[in-house]
Amino acid sequence: MGLGASGCGAGPGGGDVTLKVVAADYGDPGKPSSSQHYWDEAVERFEKENDGIRVDVTVLSWNDVEGEVADMVKAGEAPDIAQVGGYADYAAEGRLYSVSELLSIPTHANLVPALARAGEVGRTQYGLPFASSTRVLFYNKKLFADAGLDPEKPPQTWKQLQKAAQALDAAGVKHPYGLPLGREEAQGESMMWMLGGGAGITDQVGTYTLDAPENVATFTWLRDELVGKGLTGPGAPADLDRKDVFEAFGRGEVGMLNGHPTLVEPAQKAKIDYGTAPLPGRSEPAGSTMGVADWIMGFKENGHRKEIGAFLDFLFQDEQHYEFMDRYGLIPVTMSASDKMLADSRNKELRPFLRALGEAEFYPLNKVSWPDVSQEIRKRVGGAVAEGGDPAAVLDGLQRGAEEREAAAREASE
């Protein structure tokens, strides 16, 4: 069915329908910051404009929402709409409407292209980006100045980063560069360094490339030139989680780290004089950064395609979409809302993340094998930079495991 016929521009019809929506909470459940307040307000506006459609939204913590949706699907009680962290397994099982079956043409065309592509499985988009973020280098300007470094000239290359880390180390900074390769998000830190080294987790056609020569060289450099020289602080990077290094940055104990937009507010509250810059690369600034998106999708089970499309079209209009992104310090996924945020002086701290979005690379969320591969990276990649670690062996093991899981996923889908 073509876009013109499949979009919801003509409006839903056919009697009263109640949409069941399950969404993740970006605030604190049960408190004024809970996302439930946003959804309640949005639903009230939508129902006033759309007779015959009722919307019932359940907001759950990130600790619970993925499992709750999975249990509902397994029990044959899938929600009409789910807003969670991934979509590939449901798409592979044929449970989802494609985005072109749901959105009107103007709304679909307004999605940031890089994010729309990240929601594709087999060149068909099933995952609809809901919120996004990118990564940049954060650095403590005061610590730079105290170490004799120009606080307006952050490093652009790995060599410059190493020299800055050496100066910070000599000045007594606890973590000259914070390298969190612990289990919380080692796959993210790894991907950023891989991109800076000229490769990545997958290639342009989606094949796993964890053991690429460029990646081996990247982790060898990290082991020898950063970790081995004592420039990442006390303890092994494999034991350092992102949460820990973010908190240490807020205490003024970290000179540099890779961070995302949620680091902005706590850094400001802690009165850290920080700067941001593109991720450094091997010999020049990295050509791309890592992007992350949360996803929203429509399930076929209850047959409410038109009603689902109507509600999603409503959510991605600027009034609703920008309000949510502005409330929680997230990056919009539509071009019009992105332009609005770039022009909004209240969100000037988010501009570097917005500008990076167009060239961002995303996790291979279109792969059913990715959750298992990601878990293995979290468990094992820190060993590549340990004293005596063997980057080639670690990455080769991860690559073989990824290929096995990918083959198993393909076999299961046939």
Mean pLDDT of 59-79: 95
Mean pLDDT of 330-343: 95
Query: Of 360, 280, 387, 324, nearest to 117 (Cα)?
Result: 360
Which residues have C-beta within 8 Å of that of residue 311, sequence separation ≥ 6? 19, 21, 46, 50, 53, 55, 81
> Tokens in use for 109?
């065309």
Mean pLDDT of 333-348: 94
Express each pLDDT in 81-131 by its tens digit.
999 999 999 999 999 999 999 999 999 999 999 999 999 998 899 999 999
- 9 or 186, higher pLDDT: 186
Q: Assess whether pLDDT exceeds 50 at residue 1.
A: no
Confidence of residue 225 (pLDDT cuts 50, 70, 90): very high
- 14 or 59, higher pLDDT: 59
Instruction: Please give the Cα distance from 234 to 413 (Å, whole number).
Output: 46
Which pTM does this prediction carry? 0.87
CATH number of 3-133+292-362: 3.40.190.10, 3.10.350.10, 3.40.630.10, 3.30.2030.30? 3.40.190.10
Task: Count CA atoms closer than 13 A to 19's CA, side-chain side.
Answer: 30
Q: Assess whether pLDDT exceeds 90 at residue 191.
A: yes
Express each pLDDT in 241-299 by its tens digit.
999 999 999 999 999 999 999 899 899 999 999 999 999 999 999 989 999 999 999 99
How far are the Cα atoms of 248, 259, 303, 319, 364 from residue 352, in angstroms, in the given order? 22, 12, 41, 23, 23
Q: Assess whether pLDDT exceeds 70 at residue 8.
A: no
Per-chain mean pLDDT for the chain: 93
> Could you tell me what percent of the chain has a pLDDT over 90?
86
How far are the Cα atoms of 208, 265, 404 from residue 374, in angstroms, in the given order? 12, 28, 14
Mean pLDDT of 389-393: 98
pLDDT of residue 15: 57
Q: Assess whether pLDDT exceeds 50 at residue 13.
A: no
Delimit the domains of the chain by residue range: 3-133+292-362, 136-288+367-413
Please check whether the two domains, 3-133+292-362 and 136-288+367-413, share a CATH topology.
yes
Express each pLDDT in 198-207 by its tens digit.
999 999 889 9
pLDDT of residue 31: 77
pLDDT of residue 32: 79
Q: Which top CATH class is 136-288+367-413?
A: alpha beta
User: What residue ranges in 260-314 does DSSP mark as E strands?
Assistant: 274-277, 290-298
How far are the Cα atoms of 361, 396, 409 from residue 403, in angstroms, in the given order? 21, 11, 10
Mean pLDDT of 132-152: 97
Q: Assess whether pLDDT exceeds 60 at residue 410.
A: yes
